[in-house]
Structure 1
Amino acid sequence: MPRCSRSSGHASWQEEQKPSCWIRCWSCASSVAGSKPGANNARTRPMCWRACARCRSWNVWAKRCERCSWTWRAWTPTGWHSRENYRLPKPESQRRALAEQIGADGLALLRALEQAATPAELQEVHSVQLLRQVWQQYFELGEGQAHWRAGPQAEQEGVIRSPYDPQARCGKKRDTVWLGYKVHLTETCQTPPVEPAQGQEQRAAPRLIVQVETTLAEVQDVEVTATIQHELAQADLLPDEQVVDTGYLDADLLVSSQSDYGIRLLGPVLADTSWQAKAGKGFDLAHWQKQQVICPQGQRSVSWSVQSQRIEAGFARHTCAACACRPDCTHATSAGRVVHLRPQAASEALQARRAEQQTPEFRQQYATRAGIEATHSQGVRRMGLRRSRYDGLPKTHLQHVLTAVAINLVRIDAWLLGKPPGATYQSPLALLAAHPLLYQPPPPLQEAC
């Protein structure tokens, strides 16, 4: 069981962008160079959007499904072929007109599939369901027409950004925006010493990645902490201490990590951003048993309401109205101050951590987390961790797991060969500033002759 582990996340986006055309058909195979009956068009066929693309009886060159006798010529709009091979126009008006026309063509296809003469099995094809979902998000379907939306309409499953990978989502971290997924790595940071072989000195075990979690790019880091701890418990790899950054922490996790898994979650929490706290005129949160809050002027709250995830403590209106410090306490003009609290355990843990993270001892302990950044750099620069070579969350997760295995093998090989880990890079200016000669007193000046 490792004594300490550290977790962090990294973006992983698609290796290459697919063509932006949303509507493809089997007739595009005839425009490929060298394309003819019997030719190998395996690279172009999976890109097509025809409803019968998954039907084994589909005759590519006759444009007809032999099993269901559903022919595409019956519903093909006029000018369909002329709109397949196009270049995206530069004027915004022409781009919008092209989007409206593509929406009309896709709507015509969906309506043809909803007719009574259309076989029911065609409506259950995954590509058809995906096309219908995309059109609902990007077009307003009304009065028999499809109008391009100013922005996609979000649904519970999320906005589809690419038809080739419906699970890929857009993520943003500071100034970086990507399309794809996010990987979270957990590695050991304090390992016990290993019994040395004959003629060798005792060394600590190599630091290895013990857990890999892949999520959608839009999933927040704080939502993954409990999942990582659960999987570590399933593998019997729970640490005594888990070092994470602020994104993986909140007040409830500070309590649940200790109570459910016996883990001390080490990391800085967010500061209180309320304008009262910034002014340094907060409250003494006391008397949980009496269910009261005492303000800096000694007044006590008169109401205590327990909600699903918070507690509201309110002060009497006449008490706040007569107080000289009212402008420093609340902006309300006709009501008393209302204080929002977390449950007692979470509130006390949060206040204790905010006080603890100001100490030098905490900063020294938290400095251990910097090692996970080296793991990210190794995965990105040497293992291609930032690029997803496959579509879909399961395959992308498999790539992340294999990348973590490769990193572990490299570290085990270096440990067996006795190679020490690389030193942290320091700039020449930092090395010069740390030189011991700079801290020695200068020699006495000799008198000139």
Structure 2
Amino acid sequence: MTEAVRAVLEEVARDAPEVLDELVTAEWAQRYGRPVRLCSQPGHPAARQEQVGNDARELLQRLDARFPGGAPAQAKVLRTILVQHVLVDAKGRFRPRTMRDGRPPSRIQIESPYETEARWTRRGDTRWTGYLAHVTETCDDKRINVITDVATAVSSADSQALPGIHARLRRLRLLPDRHLVDGGYTSVAGLDAAARLHRVTLIGPLPPSTTPQHHPAAPPRSTTPQHRANDGFGRENFIIGFDQREVTCPNGQVSANWQDLPVAEPTKVAVRFDARQCGRCPERAKCTPGPFRSLYFPTHRLHELQTKNRADQQDADWRRLYGRHSGAEGTIEEVADGHRGHRCRYRGLAKTHVQHVPTALAINVERLSLQEPDDGSYRPRPQDSRQSPPQ
């Protein structure tokens, strides 16, 4: 938020410096006269937050009085950042907004006043503020592999990029028969959509089985503590009868409390065992810490697809085929280090994408320039593609 106040001061000092008369003092110049670089644990963070909030409020009040028809652009950004990041308590003091207060998710939260479309992103142990670049390339052992698609996106699940990638490849007649992706792109709904809409076999590991269970007094959790410690019952221990619309627990109790969730949900079926059934179960401690157990799982068709995918992952031929995906890491290094793909020359999602596309073209030109002249007849496009992880 300090950088947001500084950005407003820079804009106003350039366009309407008289607004800052009698406002910007020596203390203001010390706080905002240079870019702020705080350490990981700055001193007196609450006092600093309150001071910056008071400065921002006073600055915005002056701008509202000076520009009744509309504040400068950076002032609008500052107002949005204030709403997203801080709250005013009953005594008029600023304090950081928490998730309990309704803090917006990272996909819509502004992180920089100079680049309002960039978002905070995390992949594994890597964190950054910027964009995601999804790179798709061919992976034929006998031909030069070329990049066929580049997608630039803000912070989101990697699997959300696949429908757009497949749609563009289909429009260019470059759609592969098999598409190798890493675990971030796979979901049972994504596997089904790729096969049904584009006739593309999505090859990648599905995430491990999770079994949300909860009761009204506790928030949902991915698995029970006992299941995570290999000392409890997961979803795979329950017998699902899709035709009978009932589920049998490991202790023999049958639940007919079957509910189809909205179509938009990846997992579309919810089943709950009554508290009367779980209350008298001698193994309840291995199943749920609450008064009852709930299960969430895909519909019949998606459940079969999920089971088949997890079985295929144990097959040596599947692993050998998926091993081709390892070359995608080399492409990412080529984009990031060889062509400085981690640094953008422009601001905004659209212009950043403009940089990514010529970068991919340059990589293709470099690769094709190393190809030996081929006097043979035309060869069709390769049938396998692999998906590089985002950057």
TM-score (norm 2): 0.75
Shift of 1:398: 1.3
Q: Aligned with 1:190: secondary structure?
A: coil
Residue aligning to 1:39: none
2:11 to 49, 67, 74: 49
**How large is the Cα RMSD of the aligned pairs?**
3.5
Q: Are the aligned partners of 2:159 and 2:187 in contact in 1 as well (CA < 8 Å)? A: yes
Pairing 1:181–2:131 present? yes
Identity percentage of aligned residues: 26
Shift of 1:395: 1.6
User: Does the alignment pair 1:293 with 2:231?
Assistant: no
User: When the two structures are aligned, how many residues end up with a matched partner?
Assistant: 346
Which structure 2 residue ranges, 5 or more long, are not aligned? 211-222, 375-391
1:219: Cα distance to partner?
A: 1.4
Q: Relative to structure 1, is the Cα distance of residues 89 and 96 closer, same or farther in structure 2, using a 3 angstrom cutoff?
A: farther
What aligned pairs does 1:58-97 form with structure 2 within 5 A after superposition? 63=17, 71-72=18-19, 76=23, 79=26, 82-83=29-30, 84-85=32-33, 97=47
Can you give the 5+ residue segments of structure 1 that lack an aligned partner in the other structure?
1-18, 27-47, 64-70, 192-203, 419-449
C-alpha deviations, 1:152-180, integer Å up to 9, x for none?
Answer: 97336632222111122222222222121
In the TM superposition, residue 323 of structure 1 has moved relative to its aligned partner by 5.7
Q: How does 1:408-423 map to 2 (within 5 A)?
A: 408-416=364-372
AA in 2 matched with 1:128:
A
Q: Deviations over 1:49-87 (max 9, x none)?
A: 31873xxxx6xxxx4xxxxxxx42566355576445468
Per the alignment, residue 336 of structure 2 pairs with 380
The residue type equivalent to 1:228 in the other structure is I
Q: Aligned-pair distance for 1:229?
A: 1.7
Deviation sequence 1:274-312 (CA, Å, 0-9, x none): 455945864464532221223456554333222224323
Match of 2:207 in 1: 270
Aligned-residue offset at 1:379: 1.5
Q: How far 1:114 moved relative to its partner?
A: 2.5
Task: Please name the residue that 1:440 is paired with.
Answer: none
Indicate whether 1:350 and 2:288 are aligned: no
Q: How does 1:16-31 map to 2 (within 5 A)?
A: 20=3, 22-23=5-6
Partners of 1:88 and 1:254 lie apart in 2 by: 44
- The superposition leaves residues 205-250 of structure 1 with CA deviations (integer Å, 9 ceiling, x where unpaired) of 421111111112x312122222222222232221111100111011
- Aligned pair in 2 of structure 1 residues 82, 237: CA closer, same or farther (>3 Å)? closer
Query: Structure 1: how far apart are the matches of 2:54 and 2:227?
Result: 55
Q: Secondary structure at the match of 2:247?
A: coil
> Is the CA contact 1:52–1:122 (under 8 Å) kept in the aligned structure 2?
no
Q: Secondary structure, in 3 states, of the residue corresponding to 1:185?
A: strand
Structure 1's 112 and 21: CA in aligned 2 closer, same or farther, altered over 3 A? closer
Q: Does 1:214 align with 2:176?
A: no
Partner of 2:363: 407
Aligned to 1:307: 261
CA contact (8 A) 2:8 2:78 kept: no
Larger Rg, first or second structure (1 or 2): 1
Which structure 2 residues correspond to residues 204-243 of structure 1 after superposition, within 5 A? 204-216=142-154, 218-243=155-180
Flag the 1:387–1:89 CA change in 2: closer, same or farther, 3 A: closer
Q: Which residue of 2 aligns with 1:130?
A: 77
Deviation at 1:99, TM superposition (A): 4.9
Report the Cα distance in structure 2 between the residues aligned to 1:101 and 1:314, rounded to whole angstroms: 51
Shift of 1:368: 1.1
Structure 1 residue 266, shift from structure 2 partner? 0.3
Is the counterpart of residue 340 in structure 1 residue 296 in structure 2?
Answer: yes
Taking a change above 3 Å as real, the CA distance of residues 137 and 244 of structure 1, as seen in their structure-2 partners, is same
Larger CA deviation: 367-376 vs 298-307: 298-307
SS in 2 for 1:170: strand
Could you tell me how far apart the structure 2 residues matched to 1:372 and 1:237 are? 18
Deviation at 1:317, TM superposition (A): 6.0
SS in 1 for 2:139: strand
Q: Structure 1 residue 387: deviation in Å?
A: 1.9
State the shift of 1:120 in Å.
3.7
C-alpha offsets along residues 409-433 of structure 1, whole Å, 9 cap, x if unaligned? 1011011469xxxxxxxxxxxxxxx
TM superposition shift of 1:331: 4.5
Q: Quote how far apart the aligned CAs of 1:328 are.
A: 4.5
1:114-151 deviation per Cα after TM superposition (whole angstroms, max 9, x unaligned) = 23xx344442x322211211233344346795635277
In 2, Cα distance between equivalents of 1:241 and 1:252: 17
- Residues 1:245 and 1:89: Cα distance change in structure 2 (over 3 Å): closer
Q: How far apart, in 2, do the equivalents of 1:262 and 1:89 lie? A: 51
After superposition, give the CA deviation of every residue in 1:18-40 in whole Å (9 maximum; x if it has no partner).
Answer: x95732577xxxxxxxxxxxxxx
Pairing 1:396–2:377 present: no
Residues 131, 331 of structure 1: alpha-carbon distance in 2 compared, 3 angstrom cutoff: closer
1:256 pairs with 2:256: no
Kindly indicate whether the alpha-carbon contact (under 8 Å) linking 1:320 and 1:326 is maintained by their aligned counterparts in 2: yes
User: What SS is found at the alignment partner of 2:246?
Assistant: coil
Residues 21 and 183 of structure 1: is their aligned pair in 2 closer, same or farther, counting only changes over 3 Å? same
**TM-fit CA distance, 1:181:** 1.3
Distance 1:307 1:325, change over 3 A: same
SS, match of residue 319 in structure 2: helix
Question: Distance between the aligned counterparts of 1:22 and 1:164, measured in 2?
Answer: 11
Paired AA for residue 396 in structure 1: T
Alignment of 1:106-145 (within 5 A): 106-115=56-65, 118-123=66-71, 125-141=72-88
Is residue 249–residue 269 contact of structure 1 (8 Å, CA) maintained in 2? yes
Assess if the C-alpha contact under 8 Å between 1:23 and 1:102 holds in 2.
Answer: no
CA distance, structure 1, for counterparts of residue 97 and residue 249 of structure 2: 49
TM-score (norm 1): 0.66
Distance 1:320 1:141 in 2: 45
